[in-house]
């Protein structure tokens, strides 16, 4: 079992146990709470709201786990779907949408081997790329977060969005084409 992709056989056994054993659900909670919190945090821009939403995700999951059916995907895909729906409700309940800009997700290269000029250039490219991503629609930004930050597969993202894997591939392609076009408008194709 890896940290990113748990063994599905072990996970299915744990899910089945969690249907009747709260301690088993606690193991699932511990395994996924940080990932779900991070997802919520980058969608709502507030630590306290992200905590509340994360609690609601797991409360809903606990009460619905009896009806959960394993469909060959990690349990996290189901949790992300619940979180996605709760975040949508959160924003629908508020007239003004508040999102944290995606540039907060940039991980800096702390390699001692890179030349200072290369580090500065990489940082400038990251800032530029994050600006392009922030200009995308909320759905396309979310796709980028799920794909590159949460490292979900197209199939898992499909579960979150309630779309087919093919629809996600198409959305991903359109997103990359849009990013490339925006870079071209700025006469900057170094990233693509």
The whole-number pLDDT of residue 164 equals 92
C-alpha 49/C-alpha 155 separation (Å) is: 28
The whole-number pLDDT of residue 125 equals 74
Mean pLDDT computed over every residue of the chain: 81
Within 13 Å of residue 20, how many CA atoms lie on the same side as its CB?
3
The whole-number pLDDT of residue 88 equals 87
- pLDDT-derived band of residue 6, with 50, 70 and 90 as boundaries? low
The whole-number pLDDT of residue 50 equals 92
The whole-number pLDDT of residue 107 equals 47
CATH code of 102-192, in short, is 1.10.10.10
Provide the residue ranges of all domains of the chain, joining segments of one domain with +.
1-100, 102-192
- Best-predicted range by mean pLDDT among 33-37, 42-46, 144-148? 33-37
C-alpha 160/C-alpha 25 separation (Å) is: 21
Closest by Cα among 167, 155, 168 to 78: 155
The whole-number pLDDT of residue 98 equals 47
pLDDT (tens digit, 9 = 90+) per residue, 91-115?
888 754 444 455 455 444 445 555 6
pLDDT (tens digit, 9 = 90+) per residue, 64-91?
999 998 888 889 999 999 999 999 888 8
Torsion of CA 54, 86, 102, 98, to 10 degrees: -110
Neighbours of 42 (CB within 10 A): 21
C-alpha 149/C-alpha 100 separation (Å) is: 14
Enter the DSSP assignment of 148. I
- Best-predicted range by mean pLDDT among 26-40, 96-110, 128-142? 26-40
How is domain 1-100 classified at the CATH fold level? Rna Polymerase Sigma Factor; Chain: A (1.10.1740)
The whole-number pLDDT of residue 186 equals 74
3-state helix, strand, coil in the chain (%, to 5): 70, 0, 30
pLDDT (tens digit, 9 = 90+) per residue, 168-192?
999 999 998 888 888 888 766 555 5
**pLDDT > 80? residue 120:** no
DSSP assignment string, 1-61:
--SSS--HHHHHHHHHHHTT-HHHHHHHHHHHHHHHHHHHHHHHS-HHHHHHHHHHHHHHH
C-alpha 179/C-alpha 127 separation (Å) is: 14
Q: CB-based contacts of 166: which residues, under 8 Å, 6+ apart? A: none
């Amino acid at each position: 079992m890896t940290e990113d992709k748990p063994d599905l056989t072990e996970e299915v056994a744990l899910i089945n146990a969690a249907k009747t054993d709260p301690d088993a659900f606690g193991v699932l909670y511990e395994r996924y709470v940080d990932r779900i919190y991070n997802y919520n945090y980058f969608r709502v821009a507030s630590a306290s709201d992200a905590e509340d939403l994360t609690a609601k995700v797991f409360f809903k999951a606990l009460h619905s786990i009896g009806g959960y059916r394993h469909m060959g995907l990690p349990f996290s895909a189901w949790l992300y779907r619940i979180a996605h729906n709760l975040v949508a409700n959160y924003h629908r309940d508020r007239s003004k949408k508040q999102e944290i800009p995606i540039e907060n997700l940039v991980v800096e290269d702390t390699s001692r081997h890179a030349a200072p000029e290369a580090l500065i250039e990489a940082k400038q490219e990251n800032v530029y790329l994050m600006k392009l991503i922030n200009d995308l629609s909320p759905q396309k930004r979310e796709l980028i977060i799920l794909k590159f930050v949460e490292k979900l597969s197209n199939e898992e993202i499909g579960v979150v969005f309630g779309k087919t894997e093919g629809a996600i591939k198409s959305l991903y392609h359109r997103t990359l084409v849009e990013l490339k076009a925006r870079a071209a408008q700025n006469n900057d194709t170094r990233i693509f």
